[in-house]
Structure 1
Amino acid sequence: MKIYTDSDFFRRASFPLFIDQYTIGKGEKIPSHSHSFHELMYVLEGDASHEMMGVVYQLKPGDLFVLEPGMGHSFQGTDQETKVYNVMFQRECLHHELSRLSEIPEFMKFFYLAPFLRMTSSFYPYTNVAGTSRMQLEAKLQTMEQEHKHRKPGFELLLRTQLIEMFVLVSRDLMQVQEAERDQSQQNQDWINLVVAMLKQQYTQPLQLKQFSRMCGMSPSSFAQKFKRFTGRSFLSYKQELQLQEACRLLHKTEKTILEVAQEAGYDDLSYFYRIFRKKMGMPPVQYRKKRVDE
């Protein structure tokens, strides 16, 4: 399976964002491939087949989805052309904006939780945008395509802005749909399972209990109680344990500085990292590294 990397699409490593419009020809087969970056795909017209994780889906106009790095997928054209927009980007390009967007439960589900929901048989991987929202979304994609093509001064800022506005628009659209179709029978246990799976992948991100509680449709206190009952630990304790495990691995397996280790493990405050590490491990990070080296 071919793996596309940053150098295949991004002109500059300092601005990892790319957009183009692609036409899947009649009967064209695009072999299975994956990417080292996120890919947002929007279907303008057509009905090509899209395969992910061994399941084949029929695309339709208005379908929108985000694929995480490493997700293999392929396409098969039908008897008509299928036109799509592809937006490739690294999450670091939108680090601060994504942190703010994560306060919106619908965005959390669309962007962060989808990889785990794909593991369930009942999950449909696309959001279909319709009506006024579709017109607005297509206008933003068209603007992004032109800005990326002509690359006039300030185009990077405009591309970021349009992409963030798209995420907000989609989140609001999802909110309306989910308010109309909310299924009250969703089991709390299923949500906690998904949250635990998500935490194991995203524990270095600035995700908080209140964000997960909103996403699950629970009050913070109810979510905290259910999380502790299921895992045996509080949300904060569980997240910290994952972060400290990563910090210990980096201290033992790499030569990164203590500051780099702290940041990669999800700690922005170095003094707080020192305090938590000493409290949990019984020694400061430098001593822990030396001890592991001497073993």
Structure 2
Amino acid sequence: MLSRTRVALPERLPPWGVAILESHHADDFSMEWRTHPFLKLVYVLAGEGVLCLGDLEQSFAPRDLLVIPAGVRNRIVDTPGRPSSLYVLCIARRLIRFEPRCEASLGLGRRPRSALLANRAETRLRRLRFHHTHGADEASVPMVAEALGLLHLVAVASRDARSQNTNGPGGQKSTSASDMARYIAYLDEHFFEAEGVDAAAKQLGISRRAFTQRFRQHTGESWLRYTRLKAIDYAARLLRETEVPVTAIAFECGFGDLSTFYRQFKARLGMPPAAYRATLTGKPAADQ
């Protein structure tokens, strides 16, 4: 049975600068105004209410992600009969001092609603809770890594939303189309860690069949062929710009089997990898 709280939990940062709380509110929950020196992300697991940021008030619902900047007066007011359950992530500002634009890029308050963002955020927050609960002395590094990764996801989602808004009403896309576009943009840079069609469909909150149809509509390719083409294109770039051995490039691009890599590379570019490098650089690869 969940332990429910009538007041907001204390928020304290450990030495490594990342804290994760899980707060389940009672029906008579009440929160005083707070101002804190750290950045805070709040993910709504259940319930409804209003986030108050100074004079700004924004409603929230399950799967919303809320950004509360450092130094801003804030509190949460639950809707009567709909007490909220929240993940609360607190991040020391010193962790992002190396990137001055980071805080501004996150935006303020409720982030654009997106199944893709919600699923990725919830996954990272659950991992943070796991590290917090079971990591003991080894929790610091994975918690900082997960927190910074989540900040990146929020910043990208906020940037994409601003980009759509500047296109005017006629440029607006449906939420599902926007999520698919964001997923493909992410896949373009993370093809080497793609987990498969089922995992991708789950991230977008749609069925496998709907995912495969929409993915092909956007790219003209199946998911597997698209990721393989991205891997081959990246391999070609490494062959052009580095002296990394062909075998190492194959594994870096996600090919566990060299014969598959050679076959697909030749099908894409018309020649084997070593010959491709030699043609462009005049330096035959040592491992051809």
Q: TM-score, normalised by structure 1?
A: 0.48
Tell which structure's C-alpha radius of gyration is larger. 2
Q: TM-score, normalised by structure 2?
A: 0.49
